[in-house]
């Protein structure tokens, strides 16, 4: 059996509905790793919201963050580490026009630091989780503090109407060849600005080549539309039973169980 690359999304895939790693998932991931396979987190989350899970899973592989924009091994040098970035000027531009475009918060982030103009989190807990609220680990977003480019810019708009205006403004002003502006959907007035042409498959392909893994041995597990490119690229693109129906339409397989029923662990048991 050839060595396999297994890219795993976190939210609603590896994590259960409580946002936790189950004992079964932890044990199965470690079993896969001990068997010589590369199990790698590929997530939209920033590093600060992924590292504890990485440690809990007992991983030694690289981790892909910001939907493919950043890849590296936590606290360890890796020769294939990479970072695709967004121009910091976009963050300042949005700040200067925040009142006109009804922007409540702007968050700029890279592997180690986060900058924001607001420590007031969105009311929706699913959104609030991604917006920093601790001033001891957060820098004020201004030219004095942010001196280099970042991996991601997160924006909280007043409502969905303004969300569309912001998306058009940034795309028209900076060009679709430089940035991609993604909306979160599900009636969430949040946008994310990432480097153009970068998605989760970016990280998956870098991992595949770094570990010299055959394309036929590439697996990817996900549940939502930010997993689309990764699921599409992998020879074995597997969508969770609880996943988005549009994503299931391109899947090679669907797990028999949901993320809250150890669907990932039970599928990995079939592979091994």
| DSSP for residue 76 | B
Which pLDDT score is estimated for 151? 97
Quote the pLDDT of residue 186. 64
pLDDT at residue 230 tops 70: yes
Cβ-in-10-Å burial (0-12, 13-18, 19+) of 186 comes to: exposed
In degrees and rounded to multiples of 5, residue 191 shows phi and psi of -125, 155
Name which of 139, 136, 140, 118 is nearest 127 in CA terms. 118
Q: What is the greatest pairwise CA distance in the chain?
A: 58
Phi/psi at 250 (5° precision): -105, 0
What is the C-alpha separation between 243 and 262, in angstroms, rounded? 14
Q: Are residues 172 and 74 in the same domain?
A: no
**Domain housing 179:** 88-195
Q: Where are the alpha helices (DSSP H) in the chain?
A: 23-34, 51-57, 88-96, 125-128, 160-174, 200-210, 228-233, 245-248, 263-271
Q: How many domains does the chain have?
A: 2
Q: Is the pLDDT of residue 188 over 90?
A: no
Mean pLDDT, the chain, rounded, equals 95
CA distances to 7, 119, 131, 160 from 10, rounded to whole Å, are 10, 25, 17, 26
With cut-offs at 50, 70 and 90, classify the pLDDT of residue 1. Answer: low
Same domain, 172 and 232: no
Q: What is the pLDDT of residue 183?
A: 86
- Please name every residue paired with 185 in a beta bridge, in sequence order, or none if there are none: 188
The domain that contains 152 carries what CATH number?
3.30.1240.10
pLDDT given at position 78: 96
**Per-residue model confidence as pLDDT tens digits over 3-30:** 999 999 999 999 999 999 999 999 999 9
* Chosen domain end from 195, 221, 239: 195
122 & 254 share domain: no
Q: What is the model's pLDDT at position 167? A: 93
Residue 185 has pLDDT above 80, yes or no: no
Q: What is the pTM of this model?
A: 0.95
Nearest to 25 by CA among 10, 36, 37, 38: 10
CB distance 17 to 260 below 8 Å: yes
Do residues 103 and 118 touch, judged by C-beta distance below 8 A?
A: no
Q: What is the pLDDT of residues 125-176, one digit of tens each?
A: 888 989 998 777 899 999 999 999 999 999 999 988 888 899 999 999 999 9
Task: Indicate whether 187 pLDDT > 80.
Answer: no
Examine the fold and report which residue of 195, 218, 234 is the final residue of a domain before the chain moves on: 195
Percent of the chain having pLDDT more than 70? 99
Residue at which a domain ends, from 133, 167, 195: 195
């Amino acid at each position: 059996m050839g060595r396999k690359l297994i890219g795993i999304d976190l939210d609603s895939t590896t994590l259960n509905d409580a946002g936790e790693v189950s004992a079964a998932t932890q044990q199965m991931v470690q079993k896969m790793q001990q068997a010589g396979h590369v199990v790698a987190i590929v997530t939209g989350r920033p590093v600060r919201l992924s590292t504890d899970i990485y440690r809990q899973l007992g991983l030694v592989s690289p981790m892909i963050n910001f939907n493919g924009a950043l890849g590296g091994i936590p606290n360890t040098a890796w020769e294939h580490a990479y970072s695709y970035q967004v121009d910091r000027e976009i963050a300042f531009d949005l700040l200067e026009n925040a009142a006109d475009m009804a922007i409540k918060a702007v968050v700029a982030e890279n592997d180690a630091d986060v900058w924001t103009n607001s420590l007031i989190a969105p009311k929706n807990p699913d959104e609030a989780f991604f917006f920093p609220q601790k001033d001891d680990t957060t820098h004020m977003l201004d030219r004095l503090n942010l001196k280099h480019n970042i991996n991601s810019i997160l924006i909280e708009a007043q409502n969905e109407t303004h969300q569309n205006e912001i998306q058009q403004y940034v795309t028209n002003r900076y060009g679709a060849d430089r940035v991609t502006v993604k909306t979160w959907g599900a009636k969430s007035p949040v946008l994310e600005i990432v480097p153009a042409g970068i998605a989760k498959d970016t990280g998956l392909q870098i991992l595949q080549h770094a570990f010299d893994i055959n394309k036929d041995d590439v697996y990817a597990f996900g549940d939502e539309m930010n997993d689309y490119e990764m699921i599409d690229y992998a020879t074995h693109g597997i969508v969770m039973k609880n996943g988005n129906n549009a994503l299931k339409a391109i899947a090679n397989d669907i797990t028999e169980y949901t993320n809250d029923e150890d669907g990932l662990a039970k599928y990995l048991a079939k592979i091994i």
